[in-house]
Structure 1
Amino acid sequence: MSINNLDCSILNEIIKNESVFPGELVKKYNTTDRNIRYKLDNINFYLNKEKLPVIKTTAKGELFFGSEDRILLENSTFIIKDEDYIFSKDERQRLVLIFILLKTGTFTIQSVLDEIGVSLSTLKNDIRELKLILGKNGLKLVQIAKKGLKVQGSEDSIRRMILNILLESGLESFGTDQRDKIDVFKRNLKQIFLNSYSGTKAEKEESNLQTERAIREYLEEINEDMNEKFSDVLHNYIMNYLRLMILRIRNKKYLKEDLDDVLFLENIKEHKIIKSHINILENKADIKLTPQEIIKIVEIYIENKNYDVNNSWKQVKQILENLISKVSSDINLDMTNDLILLNDLIYHMKLAAYRIKNNIKLKNSIYKEVEDEVPFLFGIVEKRIAGYEQYLDEKLNKDEIAFITIHFKMSIDRNYNLGKKRILIVCGLGYGTSKLLKKIISEEFNVEITDLIPVYQLEKYNLDKTDIILSTVKIKELPDKPYLTINTIPNLQDKKNIEQLGIKRKNASREYYMHEVLKVIKENCDVRNSKELTEGLEKIFSTEDEKIMESHRKNLLELLPKENIKVVNSVKNWQEAMEISGRILVDNGYTEWEYVESVIDMVYKHGTYMVLKKNFILGHGNYLEKVRKAGLSFLYIKEGVEFPENHFINCVITLCSRDKKEHTFGLLELHRVIENCDLYKKISEKNSGDEVYREIKSGWEKIKI
C-alpha cells in the first residue's frame, strides 16, 4: 500500500502533538471523516509493515503515539522510502521545474528521468504543461540541436520562479532534518538543490553548511544595524534568496541585466547597510558579488520588509488581479491570463509602497511622456488604481501611475491577438463523447472547433490548422502543440485550465434550439405548413449540431428513469462501485456485462479522467456491440469511496450508448443539472432511488431546453 502527501502530513501532525482528534484533522485538511479514517488505516498498515509502532486511539477517540513510540519514530532509522510514496502531479511538476531551472546548461530527458524517477510518458505530459508555465514567467524551454533541452530567459526571471516555488513548498532550508524522514516531497526538493553543488556528497554537504553559516551571520549584522527585527516569514524568504544567489554564483550564473530602480535603490539607507556587511558573504561563502547582485539583495529586502510574504501580498495580489480585470474590461482586451503582467505589477507595487511610505519621489519623471503617448490607457489606470490606494491608505502620484500604465501597455503589445483559437478535440472512444465535449466548449469559449477525432488517429493527423488540443484521454506520444487533458464533461478546474491556455470565455448567452423558435412562432402566429417552416428556418441559421440534436436527442429523464437509480451506504472499493452501477444497466436490459467490464478497464488504462466535478464520476466503455439501448445509471454512495488519483466520489454514473449521437443531449442536460442546481447538496441526505430521482427531475425541469 502506498503513501501520499496527506498520509505524511497526518503522520507528522500526530507525532508532533501529544494527541489529535480525527475531527481536527478533518478541519485542517478540508476532507471527510471517512477519508481520514481511510488514511489512518493506510498509515497504520504502512507502519505495521515496517515493524514500527502504530497510531493508537484513546477511549475518547483521540489519536496518539506513546512517548516511547514517539521517541522511537523520531530517533530510529525509519524513513518513508521514495518507492512507497505517490507524488501528486503538483509535487512532481515542482520537482521537475526546480531541476531544469537549476541546470546551468543543456539537459536531456533521461537526466530528468534519473533525478525525478517518473515514467517517460508522464514526463512528456508534464513537459508539455511546464512549457506553458515557463512561458507565463517569461521563460522558454527550447531544444538545442544534438545537445538537449535548455531553459532560456533572464537570470532574474529564473531566480524569481525558483523562489516562488520554494515559498509555495514551504521549504525553510536546503539541509536535512528530522522531518525529512516523513516529508518525502521536501526531502527530494532539498536533494535536487544539494545535487546542484559541485563535488562529492560530503563536499556538497559541507558547502551547504558553509553557506548557512555565512548567511546567518550576515543577516544578524544587518538586522542589528537596521534596528528592526525581521519577521520569521521575511527572514526565511531572504534566507532562501541568499541560498539561491550563492548557489547560482558558484555555478557561474550571474545577474547580467540592469535592474529597474537602480538609482532609487542605491540612495536609500538599506543599501548602505546591506552593502557594508557584504564582505561576510563574500569571504565565508567564497563568492564575489557584482553591483547588480548587491542591488538585488536590497530589492528583495525592500519588496518584503513591510509585508508578510505569505499573507499581505496575497491580498495585494488579489487587488492587482482585480485591477487587471477592470482595465481589461474597460479596453475590451483580456489581460487576466498574463502572468508576466501580474508579476511585474506585484514587483513594482512593492517598491512603490516603500517610496510612498518614505515620501521618496522618482527622480526621472515620465508622467507627461506616458500621458501624451497613451492618454486613454493612462486615464483608465488612474481611475482603476483606487483599490490599491485604499489598501495602502495613500495616494499614488502620477509618476507611479505612469509606470503602472507602461506595464499594461507592454501586456497589450504581447496579447494583441483577438482571433479565435483553433481547437482539435480528441477522445479515447471516438466521435460520440467528443461531440458532447464540442457542444460544451463551443457554448462557453470563443473557439473554432476544427475537428473531432479518436485518439488512434492523432499520430497521423495534420496539425497545421490546430492551435490547441483538448483530449479526454492522456496522449502517449505528445504532438508539438499545446495540449490539455480534460473530463468528457469539463469541471470547474478544467475550465480554469482552458482559460490559462489563452482561450477566452464567451459572454454569458443562452443557446436557442430549433424547437424553441418554432414554439414561439406557433404561439403567436397561424402556421400553415410546419414542415416547410422548419426547413426554411434551418436553411437560415440551423447548424449541423442543431440538426443532430433535433433528430437523435434523448433527454436526461429518458436516459435515466427512476429504476436506474440506487442508493447504498458504502462499498468496499471503487471497482465494486462501478460494478453495482453497471449491474443496474445490465439488469434493466440496456447492455451486457462485457460492456461494464470495459468501463472498469477504462479507469485502469486512463485514470479518472471521467470525473465530472467533485463527488461525481461518469463511467463509459468501448464495447458498443454489447449495448442494446442508450441509458444512464446513477449510484449514490452515502459514505463515498476513493478512486485512483485521490478522487473521493459519492455519485457513480455509468453511460451506455449504441451510437455517437443519441446520448449527447441528455448528457448535456445532466451537466447542467449538476453545475446549476447544486445536485450533490440536494441528494446528500436522501435514502432511496425515488428521492434522488425527484431531485434530478426537479433540477431537469429548471434547466430543460
Structure 2
Amino acid sequence: MLNRHVKLIRLILKNEHHYLNADEIASYLNVSNRTVRNDIKYINSEVYSELIVSVKGKGYQLNKTRYTKQALEQLLDKQMINEDNNLIKLAYQLLMSKQSVTLNHIAEQFMLSKNEINDYIRRIQEWCDTYDVTLKIVKKKGITVSGNEMNIRNAILHLNQLTHHDVSIEDFIISEIPKAHREVMVHSITMHLNHHGIQTSQIRIQQLLVHLIIIYKRQHESNESWVINQEAHGIAKSIIQDINQKLKYHLNEETSRLFSFFISYYFEKYELGFNQIFIQSYIDRLIYQMNIKVNVDFTQDKLLRENIYSHFSRTYLRITKNIYINNPLTEDIKRQYPFMFNALYESVEYLELDAKINLNEDEIAFLALHFQSSLDRNMQQKVNIVITCYYGLGISSLLEAKIKNLNDNITIVDTLNIEEVPNYTFSNIDILITTHDIDDSYIPKDVHIIKVTPLFSDEDKSKIKSTLKQIQNPIIKNDALSSVEVTVQSDFDKSLKMIDIFKESKNTLDKQHAITHDYIETALEREKFSSTYIGNLIAIPHGNPEYVLKSNVMIYKLNHSISWKQYEVKLVFFLAIAKDDASIMKNIIHNIAQLTEQDVHHLIKLDDETFKQKIIEHIKK
C-alpha cells in the first residue's frame, strides 16, 4: 500500500458522515481524478475489501455496513506500524550495505510491488538528503548509497525520523544481530569496564553496543586519530579481542581505536587542555548572542552557564570528530519551543562564521532545553513599585503589606508623600500606586499609574493584578504590527510544492524591495538544515533577519496539503522579519505554535480577509 493510499483512507475516515467527490479527494492528494478512481479500486480489492462505497451523484464514503470507524483505525494503525518498520528496515539495509542492493532483492525480501518500492525509495531519498547522503538507482546495478562516512552513520542513528510512531532506533539496531551474539558483546563490554573500576548502567552499555555494531557493519579505514585516552584504548582493545575470540569475528585495530573514542566520551576519560579556553569563549559568546535574540539577560544565570559548560565540553569533543548522537526529543522541542530553537539556530549560525563549529539540529535542541530551563526559572519579570499616600505612615504600611502579598515578584522600592512625587526619579520603576489624583506630567510615560482606595479593596487588587499580567506577559499592541506587511495567498493549483512557496515569497519580497538578494538562500539553507515544520499542519520558513529590509509575513492558505520534507502542511507562515522587529518575531512564532490541527482545518475554510483578521487577532494575544 502506498503512502498516498493511507492518506486517502484517513480522509474518508475523517469524513465518515459526508460524501466526498473525486475532485475533492484529488485536490487533497494532489493527483488526478483518474488516479483517485484507480486508488479506490486498488484499496477495495487489495487492501480492505469494499472499504469505500460509491453513490452516483453523491461521491465516495466509508462502507459503514462492513466497517466501523474504530475498527478501521485500529487496522490502519497496525498496518502503518508494519509499513513504517519495513521502511526503517529497508533504509537501514541500504545505509549499512557497502554494495548496491537490487530492486528484485527488495521486492522479494519485503514482498513489495514496483510502485511500492518506488514510493519507499522516494521517501528514504528525500530524508537522506537532509544528511547529505545520496541514494541512486543505477541501471542494472540497483540502489547505491554515497556520502561522507560520518554522515551515513549519523543518518543511521536517526532512522526513527522516517516514522511518526514511537520507534527506538537503538533497539532496532541491536535487534539486527543474533541474541546470543548480543549477550556475549554486552557481557564482554560490562566485564572489561568493571575490571577497570568503571561503574556503568544498562542504558550506557546499550549506547556503546549500538556504536560498536555500526562500526563493525560499516568498517571503514580512516586517517582520523580516534585515541584520546590510552586507558580507554586499552579497554577497547580487550573488548574487541574478547569478542573476536568468542564469536569468531574479525574486528580490526581500526575498530578498537574508534570504539575507544566512545568509551572516552561516555565515561569522561579525556583532557580538553587548551580547548577549555576556546569552549569557555564560545559559551560566553553564545550566551551574549542569546541575550540579544531573546531579549533576556541570561548572563546572570550561573546555573545555566555551568550546565552548558558541562554539556558543551563533551559535545565539542564529538563534533570535532564529526560524530553526532540521536536526540529523541528534537522534534518535540522544536514544536514546543520553536522560538528558542530558532534563536539558538541563528546564534549558532552567526558564531559558526569564525568559530568553525557546525552544530546540527539535535545539538541545538539539547542547548534549547538549557536556555528554556533558564527562562522558566527566571521568566517572571520583577516588578518595581512606588507607593504615594496622602494619609501617612499607617496607611502606607498597610498598602505595602497587602500589595507585596499579591505576587512574589513585586518589590516595593519606596513610599512617598504626595509632595515628593514631582522631584522623584522614577528610574526602573514599573508602577506608581497612589491614593489620590496626581499630576502625571511628572511621571515617565512607561510607568503605570494606579489609583487605589486607602483600605485596598478587591477591585484595587484586581487592577494591580491586571497590570502585573500586562507587564510580565506583554501582548503585541495594535500599532506594533504596523511595521509588518501581512498578506494572505490561496487558490493554488494541485501541483504546488515546497520550493514554490520559496519562489513565490521571493517574488513578493523583491517587488516590495523588502529583502537583499541573499535572503531566500538563507531561508533555503535553514530549511535544509532543520525543517521549520512545527506540527499541526504548520510550517514557519524564515531566513537570516540581517538580510530583511522591511518585515513581511506571507501566509499561504492551502486547500490541499503539500509535502514539507516528511510532513504534510496546510498553513505556511513565511516570516521575513527584520532584525529591529525581533520582539515581534518572538510573539508571532510563540502564538502560531499554539494553533491546533483543528484550528488549522477551521481557518483554511474562511475567506482570505476573515482569515487574515483572525490570524492577526491570534498573533496579538
TM-score, structure 2 normalization: 0.39
TM-score, structure 1 normalization: 0.36
